[in-house]
Structure 1
Amino acid sequence: MPHAVLPIHAVLFDFARTLFRLTAPVEMIRDIATQHGYPEIAADAEELARVLGDAHLHPEVIRLWELGDLSEAGHLAYRTGWIARVAELGPILDPLAAAMADPARWPPYADTAEVLAGVAERGIPIAVVSNIGWDVRAAFARHGLDRTIDVWTLSYEVGALKPNPEIFKHALRKLGVNGRHALMVGDTPGADGGATAVGCRVLLLPGAEDVVSWLAPSEEVRGLGAVLHLLDAANRR
């Protein structure tokens, strides 16, 4: 006899490459180089974006990345340390590092607003649970999406990183929901999949573990509609 499906009383969403995406690096490099008067950098933006992606494989950059989501200062050190590996980007290092954490450079996917609204309309609270070293609330606010979020659990504020169970426990405590009645939605198995340790069900969107792939040009529609189908099935709507 099949087991009963437990209802879902809360949804936890990842931020990057789940609800929002970073503007393609080639666009950022071209825009910033042009704005600051470096046409030669703008002309080589495509190649420099490729080299920047490769630079993320350097052991020192990986070390900075692993620490970067625990503080704003650490995240800035990570971004600047990474860009510094590409000497040709030196003239625009500071504005490019700033752009990577600029809410204006983080648009939502085309289906983000509809799905967040759909979850909220079903009376289900939402938490954002993200490994991040800067305040993403402003990215949501730019598009009027902050009003759909009930709980913000950002690693640099709570001092824990996914897949550490503590970051998920923090969100669940704030939501007042048992993990067995929550759904975690993300794109990284090694991080978002950690929610299973506290009893959550997990929906993994197509994605990648490494930043090189994460920085590739991203699709406009993320496929978030699956969240609403899961909610309706679990809650027998």
Structure 2
Amino acid sequence: MPGDRASAFDAVLVDWRGTLALPLAPERWVTAALGGLGRPASPVDAAPVLERLEAVDADARLGTAGMDADPALHRRIFMEVLADAGLDSALAEALYRVESDPGNDGFADDVPAFLARTRAAGIRIVLVSDIHVDVRPRFHAAGLSPYVDAYALSCEHGAEKPDPRLFEAALHMAGSRPDEAVMVGDRHTHDGGAAALGVTTLILPPLRAATDRRLHLAEALLYGR
């Protein structure tokens, strides 16, 4: 097993959404919000909401730089976009609640084994995420918190990837030098910022389904296979 083999690295910095967890699909996001309000929540019911969001370029606007480093800014921009889309306040609040609940992001099937093997090999694990809420409860609920040594979250450090400050915080938490760590993520524009510090960086294809298996590539890097 990989966990039984020596590694040239002593820490793994790993991204959350897109790498370990499957981001909530837009249709499921809207149907969950509608259902939470007791409204009709079929894909047909979600379609007009998604059309309104597309009309105001919500996807791009909700990715505004700096949002995940400031929870108050995140909420303000989010609610402005939903208001511009003409959504009523109750639905806007419901959409924000659903998007802000990491419990709605499912782990990929290979995550538990990857985390367990990495820990068994004596390699420290730090989650590095651009996110406006605390993801620790999600790991606890999934029984995975014993495998994670620390969490470097943008909302707690006032910096988001590719800002080197977030990676520096993660390295400090791991007690590792840049050359002793590996960063595993799914966006070169963000996770690739670790490379500027001298951290070996692996960019995986973003998760599209829970059954996608990507993390064996990280193990191959860790153990030189």
- Deviations, residues 169-196 of structure 1 (Å, cap 9, x unaligned): 1111121111011100001111111101
* Aligned residue in 2 for 1:29: 30
Q: Contact (CA 8 Å) 1:34, 1:42: kept in 2 or not? A: no
Describe the superposition over 1:126-179 as per-residue Cα deviations: whole angstroms up to 9, x where unpaired: 001111111111121120111111111111111222111111111111211110
Q: Which stretch of the first structure deviates more once superposed, 196-205 or 45-54?
A: 45-54
Match of 1:3 in 2: none
* 1:1-237 correspondence to structure 2 within 5 Å: 7-39=8-40, 43-46=44-47, 48-49=49-50, 51-53=52-54, 55-56=57-58, 61=61, 65-88=64-87, 91-207=90-206, 218-220=208-210, 221-233=212-224
Deviations 1:79-128 (A, max 9, x none): 32333332256541101111101122111111111111111111100001
CA distance in 2 between counterparts of 1:41 and 1:87 reads 20
Structure 1 residues 228 and 51, CA gap change in structure 2 (3 angstroms):
farther
| In 1, Cα distance between equivalents of 2:166 and 2:32 | 36
Q: Is the 8 A contact 1:41 1:88 kept in 2?
A: no
Tell me: CA distance 1:33–1:141, structure 2 relative to 1, closer, same or farther (3 Å). Answer: same
Give the Cα separation in 2 of the matches to 1:42 and 1:31: 10
Distance 2:204 2:160 in 1: 19
C-alpha separation in 1, matches of 2:87 and 2:44: 12
Letter in 2 for 1:56: A
Runs ≥4 in structure 1, deviation > 4 angstroms?
88-91
Looking at structure 1, the residues matched to 77 and 43 of structure 2 have their Cα atoms a distance apart, in angstroms, of 23
For 1:225 and 1:47, locate their aligned partners in 2 and report how far apart those are by CA, in whole Å: 40
Indicate conservation of the 8 Å contact 1:33/1:42, yes or no.
no
Task: Select between 102-111 and 184-193 the one with higher mean Cα deviation.
Answer: 102-111
Change in Cα spacing, 1:146 to 1:49, as seen in structure 2 (3 Å) is farther
Q: Distance in 2 between matches of 1:78 and 1:135?
A: 19
Letter in structure 1 aligned against 2:132 = G
Task: State the identity as a percent.
Answer: 30
Q: Whole-Å Cα distance in 2 between the matches of residues 39 and 111 of structure 1?
A: 34
Q: Which runs of 5+ in 2 are unaligned?
A: 1-6
Q: Secondary structure at the match of 2:65?
A: helix
Q: Distance in 1 between matches of 2:117 and 2:53?
A: 38
- Count of matched residue pairs: 217
